[in-house]
Chain A
Amino acid sequence: MAQRPGKANGVLVLGGGITGIQAALDLAASQAKVYLVEKTPSLGGRMAQLDKTFPTMDCAI
Chain B
Amino acid sequence: MMDAGRHPNIEVLTNSELVRFEGRAGNFRATVKKYPRYVDEALCTGCGQCVNDCPVIVPNEFEVGMGARKAIYSPFPQAVPNTYIIDRVNCLNDQFLVCTNCQKSCDRDAIRYDDIGEEIELHVGAVVVATGFDVYEASRIPSYGYGLYHNVLTNMELERVLNASGPTRGHIVRPSDHKVPKKIAFIQCVGSRGEGKEAGCEYCSRFCCMNAVKDCMLVKQHEPDIEELLLFYIDLRAAGKGFEEFYQRSLDMPELKYIRGRPSKIMEDPETKDIFVYVEDVETGKVDKIRVSMAILSAGAVAAAANPDLANVLGIELDENGFFEVETRYGSPLHTARQGVYICGCAAGVNDVSDSVSQGSGAAAEAEKFIEKIPVETEPVEIKELDTSGPPKVGVFLCHCGINIAGVLDIDSLKEYAESIPDVAYVENNLFLCSDEGQRLMQNKVVEHGLNRVVAAACTPRTHEPVFQESCEQIGLNPYLFEMVNVRDQCSWVHTGVPEIATEKAKEMIKLGVAKARHLQPLYRKSIPVNQSALIIGGGVAGMAAALELDAQGMKVYLIEKEGRLGGRLNNLTRVYPANLSAFELARVMVEKVKASRVEAMAGTEVTGITGYVGNFDVATTNGNFKVGTIVLATGAGIYEPKDEFGYGKFDNVITNQELEDILHDTKGKIQIHGDTPKNVVFIQCVGSRDAETNPGCSRYCCPTTIKQAIRLRESGVNVTVLHRDMRTVGAKAEEHYRRARELGVKFLRYTPQRLPLVTGKDNRATSVEILELALDRILDVDTDYVVLAAGMVPNEASTAKLQDILKVPRGADGFFMERHAKLGPVETTSEGVFLAGCVSGPKDIADSLAQGSAAAAKVASIISRDTVNLEPTTCIIEPSLCRACSMCVDMCEYHAPSLVDIAPGLRAAQINQALCKGCGTCASWCPTGAIVALHFTDQQINSMLDALLLDRV
A residues sitting closer than 8 Å to B (CB atoms) are 1, 3-4, 6-58, 61
Cβ contacts A to B, 20 pairs, < 8 Å:
A6-B372, A10-B122, A10-B123, A11-B124, A11-B367, A12-B28, A12-B124, A18-B345, A18-B824, A20-B131, A30-B861, A34-B11, A36-B11, A40-B15, A44-B79, A48-B62, A49-B156, A51-B218, A54-B211, A54-B213
> Which residues of chain A are near B359, meaning CB under 8 Å?
19
> Which residues of chain A are near B126, meaning CB under 8 Å?
11-12
Whether, in the assembled complex, B242 has its beta carbon less than 8 Å from a beta carbon of chain A, the answer is yes
Q: Could you tell me if A36 and B364 are in contact, using CB atoms closer than 8 angstroms?
A: no
Minimum Cβ distance to chain B for residue A22 (Å): 3
Q: Given A35-B11, A38-B16, do A9 and B372 touch, yes or no (CB 8 Å)?
A: yes
- Complex: how many Å from CA A36 to CA B515? 42
Q: Could you tell me if B125 and A23 are in contact, using CB atoms closer than 8 angstroms?
A: no
> Which residues of chain A are near B145, meaning CB under 8 Å?
none
> Which residues of chain B are near A57, meaning CB under 8 Å?
214, 217
Q: Which of A1, A8, A22 contacts B125 (CB 8 A)?
A: A8
- Complex: how many Å from CA A40 to CA B35? 10
Q: Given A30-B862, A31-B373, A51-B162, do A19 and B16 touch, yes or no (CB 8 Å)?
A: no
Minimum Cβ distance to chain B for residue A35 (Å): 5
CB-CB contacts of B118-140 with A at 8 A, as 1s and 0s? 00011111111111110000000
Q: Which of B81, B243, B372, B821 contacts A42 (CB 8 A)?
A: B81
Whether, in the assembled complex, B793 has its beta carbon less than 8 Å from a beta carbon of chain A, the answer is no
Q: Could you tell me if B9 and A33 are in contact, using CB atoms closer than 8 angstroms?
A: yes
CB-CB contacts of B356-375 with A at 8 A, as 1s and 0s? 11011101110110111111
Q: In the A-B complex, list the 7 residue pairs whose CB atoms are closest, starting with the nearest.
A: A19-B345, A29-B862, A22-B360, A20-B130, A55-B246, A42-B79, A15-B130
Q: Could you tell me if B356 and A19 are in contact, using CB atoms closer than 8 angstroms?
A: yes
CB-CB contacts of B649-693 with A at 8 A, as 1s and 0s? 000000000000000000000000000000000000000000000
> Which residues of chain B are near A19, meaning CB under 8 Å?
130, 132, 344-347, 356-357, 359-360
Q: Could you tell me if A11 and B345 are in contact, using CB atoms closer than 8 angstroms?
A: no
Q: Could you tell me if B130 and A23 are in contact, using CB atoms closer than 8 angstroms?
A: yes
B residues sitting closer than 8 Å to A (CB atoms) are 1, 3-5, 7-18, 26-28, 30, 32, 37, 62, 64, 74-76, 78-81, 83, 85, 121-133, 156, 159-160, 162-164, 166, 210-211, 213-214, 217-218, 240, 242-243, 245-246, 306, 310, 344-347, 353, 356-357, 359-361, 363-365, 367-368, 370-376, 821-824, 858-859, 861-862, 865-866
> Which residues of chain B are near A20, meaning CB under 8 Å?
128, 130-131, 345, 360
- Complex: how many Å from CA A51 to CA B241? 20
Minimum Cβ distance to chain B for residue A4 (Å): 7
- Complex: how many Å from CA A32 to CA B514? 41
Minimum Cβ distance to chain A for residue B107 (Å): 22
Q: Which of A16, A30, A35 contacts B122 (CB 8 A)?
A: A35
- Complex: how many Å from CA A38 to CA B79? 12
- Complex: how many Å from CA A46 to CA B76? 12
Q: Could you tell me if A41 and B822 are in contact, using CB atoms closer than 8 angstroms?
A: no
- Complex: how many Å from CA A18 to CA B356? 8
Q: Could you tell me if A38 and B213 are in contact, using CB atoms closer than 8 angstroms?
A: no
Q: Kindly name the residue among A40, A49, A56, A58 whose own CB sees the greatest number of chain B CB atoms within 10 A.
A: A49
Q: Which of A28, A32, A53 contacts B823 (CB 8 A)?
A: A53
- Complex: how many Å from CA A11 to CA B346? 20
Q: Could you tell me if A54 and B78 are in contact, using CB atoms closer than 8 angstroms?
A: no
Q: Given A36-B13, A40-B15, do A21 and B4 touch, yes or no (CB 8 Å)?
A: yes
> Which residues of chain A are near B361, meaning CB under 8 Å?
22-23, 26
B interface, by DSSP: helix, strand, loop or mixed? mixed
Q: Could you tell me if A49 and B1 are in contact, using CB atoms closer than 8 angstroms?
A: no
- Smallest CB gap from B74: residue in A: A42
Q: Could you tell me if B80 and A35 are in contact, using CB atoms closer than 8 angstroms?
A: no
Q: Could you tell me if B125 and A10 are in contact, using CB atoms closer than 8 angstroms?
A: yes
- Complex: how many Å from CA A10 to CA B821? 29
Q: Could you tell me if A55 and B245 are in contact, using CB atoms closer than 8 angstroms?
A: yes
- Complex: how many Å from CA A32 to CA B373? 5
Q: Could you tell me if A16 and B12 are in contact, using CB atoms closer than 8 angstroms?
A: yes
Minimum Cβ distance to chain A for residue B355 (Å): 9
Minimum Cβ distance to chain A for residue B5 (Å): 7
> Which residues of chain B are near A33, meaning CB under 8 Å?
9, 11, 374, 376
Q: Could you tell me if A39 and B17 are in contact, using CB atoms closer than 8 angstroms?
A: yes
Q: Kindly name the residue among A1, A3, A41 whose own CB sees the greatest number of chain B CB atoms within 10 A.
A: A41
Q: Kindly name the residue among A9, A23, A57, A61 whose own CB sees the greatest number of chain B CB atoms within 10 A.
A: A23
Q: Given A20-B128, A32-B368, do A39 and B15 touch, yes or no (CB 8 Å)?
A: yes
Q: Could you tell me if B866 and A17 are in contact, using CB atoms closer than 8 angstroms?
A: no
Q: Could you tell me if B127 and A11 are in contact, using CB atoms closer than 8 angstroms?
A: yes
> Which residues of chain B are near A48, meaning CB under 8 Å?
1, 62, 76, 78
- Complex: how many Å from CA A35 to CA B124? 9
- Complex: how many Å from CA A22 to CA B371? 18
Minimum Cβ distance to chain B for residue A6 (Å): 7
Q: Given A11-B371, A14-B310, A24-B4, do A38 and B214 touch, yes or no (CB 8 Å)?
A: no
> Which residues of chain A are near B124, meaning CB under 8 Å?
8, 10-12, 35
- Complex: how many Å from CA A37 to CA B372? 21
- Complex: how many Å from CA A57 to CA B15? 31
Minimum Cβ distance to chain A for residue B156 (Å): 7
Minimum Cβ distance to chain B for residue A44 (Å): 6
- Complex: how many Å from CA A50 to CA B62? 10
Q: Could you tell me if B243 and A55 are in contact, using CB atoms closer than 8 angstroms?
A: yes
Q: Which of A3, A41, A54 contacts B210 (CB 8 A)?
A: A54
